[in-house]
Structure 1
């Protein structure tokens, strides 16, 4: 069975902004994240992304612009790139099952690869990432990059048994040891 990892995007792979990332030019990788993905791919891992992208619904950018951001990511990763990208354009108030902490994007990943994500790793920087991982019986890992420090400062009890790393590069270093 092939290893699969699910990554949040903003704050894990690329720098995040409370003002939203609205263009491919604004989309800048977190230091070491591209190399970390390349190492996972070289080690035979499937790499999937599950990302809330409410900026579409808010009118900050279009699906075309989001596609340009993701093409930039794929070009930087090179090779066969990231294996799958799921995104949810909805707002929290829309109550969409695809928006994290809803499990819709993870279910789509399971269906795409015909596998269960139970026991697999999800790397994120928010409580929603941790909650969706736990809802799918995955192993959540929190990174301090992006909103990670803010998430840790919440001292939410859900974080009590969650592994914490500086960034995606540190996660991958530990996984591939």
Structure 2
């Protein structure tokens, strides 16, 4: 499925869409949406954007939750989005820890390469195929994974976003209070 690059948005999950936890989000009960995040996704969906998630989920490798429990959390999110007319098109996740030294754990760009393979068949710039694609995260590692392939970095101040040092941010990073702030900015300046 090829989509217009200018209509693709990459979101992190924990701390952007749902509340993050220092002890990991391990179940549907612990998966709690951040206020207005689902409404922001709905607004973007209704405006014709394709939204995908790229998320580190090392809790699987650490044994905190299973793949089935992760899928149940994502199903809860989809179920909550449906009555709002919002949708997430796909979810890419890394189940590994840093010790695994995989290519898919952010800040490495492996998940971004998977997204390019799925959505961008003939990138205009093969060196930076995500040029002009927003990546929204609450941590430096989220942003670096996307900017490695040219994505436009957007930091939200929910989750761990408040603790990110401004001096470490990639050039041209836009900062938003939350996912709704990002959505309103994108919709005001498509």
Kindly indicate whether the alpha-carbon contact (under 8 Å) linking 2:132 and 2:151 is maintained by their aligned counterparts in 1: yes
Question: What number of residue pairs does the alignment pair up?
Answer: 175
Shift of 1:118: 2.0
**Given the alignment of the two structures, is residue 74 of structure 1 paired with residue 78 of structure 2, yes or no?**
yes
Q: Which runs of 4+ in 1 moved over 4 A?
A: none
Shift of 1:94: 1.1
* Shift in CA distance, 172/60, structure 1 to aligned 2, threshold 3 Å: same
Shift of 1:157: 2.9
**Residues 7-46 of structure 1 aligned to structure 2 (within 5 Å):** 7-46=11-50
Q: Which range is displaced more, 24-33 or 111-120? A: 111-120
**Residues 126-145 of structure 1 aligned to structure 2 (within 5 Å):** 126-145=139-158
TM score, norm. by length of structure 2: 0.87
Q: Which range is displaced more, 160-169 or 15-24? A: 160-169
In the alignment, structure 1 segments of 5+ residues that lack a partner are none
Aligned-residue RMSD, C-alpha: 1.4
In the alignment, structure 2 segments of 5+ residues that lack a partner are 122-128
CA offsets per residue over residues 102-126 of structure 1, 9 Å max, x none? 1111111111123442221000000
* Shift in CA distance, 11/80, structure 1 to aligned 2, threshold 3 Å: closer
* Residue in structure 1 matched with residue 94 of structure 2 by the alignment: 88
* Residue in structure 2 matched with residue 114 of structure 1 by the alignment: 120
Q: Secondary structure at the match of 1:119?
A: coil
* Residue in structure 1 matched with residue 62 of structure 2 by the alignment: 58
Which one of 102, 114, 129 corresponds to residue 108 of structure 2? 102
Kindly indicate whether the alpha-carbon contact (under 8 Å) linking 1:47 and 1:83 is maintained by their aligned counterparts in 2: yes
CA offsets per residue over residues 33-73 of structure 1, 9 Å max, x none? 00000111100000000000000000000000000000001
Q: Distance in 2 between matches of 1:80 and 1:163?
A: 24
Q: Distance in 1 between matches of 2:66 and 2:90?
A: 20
TM score, norm. by length of structure 1: 0.94
